[in-house]
Amino acid sequence: MESILDFLSNITWWMWIIIALAIVAIRDIIQNKHTISHNFPIVGHFRYMLESIGPELRQYLVANNREELPFNRIERGWVYASSKNENNYEGFGTDRDIYAHQHIFINNAMLPYKLEDNHPNKKDKHFLPCAKVMGEYNKRKRPYRPASVINVSAMSFGSLSAKAVESLNKGVKLAGAYHNTGEGGLSPYHKNGGDVVFHFGTGYFGVRDDDGNFSMEKLKQLVKENPFVRAIEVKLSQGAKPGKGGVLPGSKITKEISEIRHVPMGEDVLSPPNHSAFNTIPELVEFVEAIAQETGLPVGIKAAIGKLEQWEELADYMKANNKGPDFITVDGGEGGTGAAPPSFADHVSLPWVYGFGDLYKLFKDKGLTERIVFIGSGKLGFPAKAAMAFAMGADCINVAREAMMSIGCIQAQVCHTNRCPAGVATQNKWLQRGINVPLKSERLAQYFNTFKKELLEITHAAGYEHPCQFKMTDVEVNVDDHNLSKELDRTYNYNKVEVPFNGVQALKDCMHLGGKA
């Protein structure tokens, strides 16, 4: 024994390194799972290491300012600086190729809109409520005028951490916006004072019976117990994975998640592609009406757009029967998700401008736009993009990933692994530790406020008081040379219906502002 210890103590550090490398080399040669390390023992590992840190290397060192997707460095930097109330200006002029295809230009007025001394925006530069009231046309018991045109899009507790959800909810309270729950039910973290839009999909999480079917009784109870729930959104599909259900693995179902979602512990839970509560378009409308009747709240639907036949059927049914959803959220194919197969995320459903344009035009042709609040989501969390969306007919913007970035997301793109380094999209308690909720909620509110202020400044530069006044002819999109650059109306072949608007003061005096009445 002593001679072995003697022998080991005589091995120098560099000999230990050689022994370790020899063991790795032998293991590489014996294994047959990884061809590269089998064929190139030891050095093959560098390939795997470099591959795994490739995104970070590109993000920090290699990619130029405008290169990355989904959000490039300039876009991320703008959200980060806005949320920290830092200088978010750029010096020396734009670094964008403003002649590039699809670049948009907003036509400014010769003389900008002038704010009188008694104008609500003179005192409050962030006051920017929605110009339409959800549920007003259909005479719902509790109509709702969102007090902010920018709001937090559907992201569940489960896909996001408890601390992230709490930060978002406290943040929307500070910014006067609403917080969409996403599919995971209403958690305690959604109950921190912000307005809430309760959202559910085919899994009916939080409002399901023991067999996984929709329970009206549970929804009624939820609305009764939580008066801050202002509207209900039925998800038909989302841009990143339309027509695709999901599996919540039994291993991820904690006691808390099981109670919030009303799902059993330890078993995989399926959310199928289809709803079990309705099968046809008339049944969908009657479902929406029944929820509105029972809860008194405005009810909307969320979808990504592809084929239009069923939408046409919906519009015809709404017109013939004088009922239907109070709002429609259109998600773009570029939308984000906690997890989706790339084949879906990359290829199924239309990008926002195409999908929204098709849908709005269809509802316009049927004379239905005035009764619907149109909400857009899909990388619209930037003032100029939002101005374009308003010109096309959107009344509100929902933001998901931009909101995540404002509370610390670094676009690591690992939401599906439970290893989010920023603690935003993970259930790992250790990773969540770094989230300082009061600070992050301030940051979301600051991002929203900066966004609204800049959107208003663009609106005033175009000669208007409120972004609802933007017309298709106010925005041009580059299709090539200037002679070929076309206004939105000539590009997408429709004109937006004018939104009835009697000044921001009238919005401020509205009894439904923020669901007050």
Ligand X SMILES: Cc1cc2nc3c(=O)[nH]c(=O)nc-3n(C[C@H](O)[C@H](O)[C@H](O)COP(=O)(O)O)c2cc1C
The residues facing 233 across adjacent strands are 199, 300
CB of 291 to ligand X, least distance (A): 17
Nearest to 443 by CA among 459, 422, 428, 420: 422
> CB under 6 A: which stretch of 78-86, 91-99, 315-323, 396-404 binds ligand X?
396-404
**Interface residue with ligand X, options 202, 349, 377, 485 (CB under 6 A):** 377
Between 130 and 155, whose beta carbon lies closer to ligand X? 155
**365 φ, ψ to 5°?**
-60, -30
Between 164 and 513, whose beta carbon lies closer to ligand X? 164
Q: Which strands, in side-by-side order, build the sheet including 475-477?
A: 104-106, 475-477, 486-487
Q: Is the dihedral of CA 383, 389, 390, 396 positive or negative?
A: negative
| SS (HEC) of 183-218 | CCCCCHHHCCCCEEEEEECCCCCCCECCCCCECHHH
**Interface residue with ligand X, options 126, 244, 302, 452 (CB under 6 A):** 302
Cα gap 337→209, rounded to integer Å: 26
Q: Which of residues 112-171 bind ligand X (CB under 6 A)?
A: 153-156, 159
Between 137 and 178, whose beta carbon lies closer to ligand X? 178
Alpha carbon of residue 435 to chain centroid: 20
**Interface residue with ligand X, options 142, 163, 401, 471 (CB under 6 A):** 401
Cα gap 278→266, rounded to integer Å: 29
Between 318 and 415, whose beta carbon lies closer to ligand X? 415
Between 138 and 349, whose beta carbon lies closer to ligand X? 349
CB of 404 to ligand X, least distance (A): 6
CB of 245 to ligand X, least distance (A): 12
CB of 268 to ligand X, least distance (A): 18
Between 331 and 442, whose beta carbon lies closer to ligand X? 331
Q: Which of residues 318-337 bind ligand X (CB under 6 A)?
A: 331, 335-337
Pinpoint the alpha helices (H) of 40-147: 43-57, 73-83, 120-123
Q: In terms of C-beta distances under 8 Å and separation of at least 24 residues, what long-range contacts does 278-283 make, across chains too?
A: 281/310, 281/313, 281/314, 281/317, 282/317
**Residue 365 CA: distances (Å) to CA of 316, 330, 486:** 11, 18, 22
Provide the 10 A C-beta neighbour count for residue 176.
23
Q: Helices 383-392 and 437-461 sit at what angle, rounded to 10 degrees?
A: 60
DSSP string of 265-308, one letter each residue: TTS-EEE-SS-SS--SHHHHHHHHHHHHHHH-S-EEEEEE----
456 in contact with ligand X (CB under 6 A): no
CB of 55 to ligand X, least distance (A): 17
385 in contact with ligand X (CB under 6 A): no
**Interface residue with ligand X, options 355, 378, 383, 393 (CB under 6 A):** 378
379 in contact with ligand X (CB under 6 A): yes
Binding-site size for ligand X (CB under 6 A) equals: 25
**Do 102 and 477 touch, CB atoms closer than 8 A?**
yes
338 in contact with ligand X (CB under 6 A): yes
CB of 421 to ligand X, least distance (A): 15
Nearest to 435 by CA among 53, 160, 149: 160
Between 397 and 462, whose beta carbon lies closer to ligand X? 397
Q: Which residue has the tokens 């929204």?
A: 356
CB of 394 to ligand X, least distance (A): 13
Size of the chain in residues = 517
Which amino acid would we find at residue 130? Answer: C
182 in contact with ligand X (CB under 6 A): yes
Nearest to 355 by CA among 331, 337, 375, 371: 331
Cα gap 67→69, rounded to integer Å: 7
Q: Which of residues 467-486 bind ligand X (CB under 6 A)?
A: none
CB of 348 to ligand X, least distance (A): 14
**Interface residue with ligand X, options 381, 383, 423, 467 (CB under 6 A):** 381
Between 399 and 444, whose beta carbon lies closer to ligand X? 399
Between 155 and 231, whose beta carbon lies closer to ligand X? 155
400 in contact with ligand X (CB under 6 A): yes
Which amino acid would we find at residue 339? Answer: A
> CB under 6 A: which stretch of 88-96, 102-110, 188-196, 372-380 binds ligand X?
372-380
**Interface residue with ligand X, options 28, 395, 402, 476 (CB under 6 A):** 402
375 in contact with ligand X (CB under 6 A): no
> CB under 6 A: which stretch of 14-22, 51-59, 96-104, 394-402 binds ligand X?
394-402
183 in contact with ligand X (CB under 6 A): yes
Cα gap 327→396, rounded to integer Å: 10
DSSP run (H or E) holding 247: strand 246-248
> CB under 6 A: which stretch of 88-96, 257-265, 289-297, 400-408 binds ligand X?
400-408
**Interface residue with ligand X, options 399, 407, 456, 513 (CB under 6 A):** 399
**Interface residue with ligand X, options 219, 392, 415, 462 (CB under 6 A):** 415
425 in contact with ligand X (CB under 6 A): yes
246 in contact with ligand X (CB under 6 A): no
Site residues for ligand X per CB under 6 A: 153-156, 159, 182-183, 235, 238, 302, 331, 335-338, 377-379, 381, 399-402, 415, 425
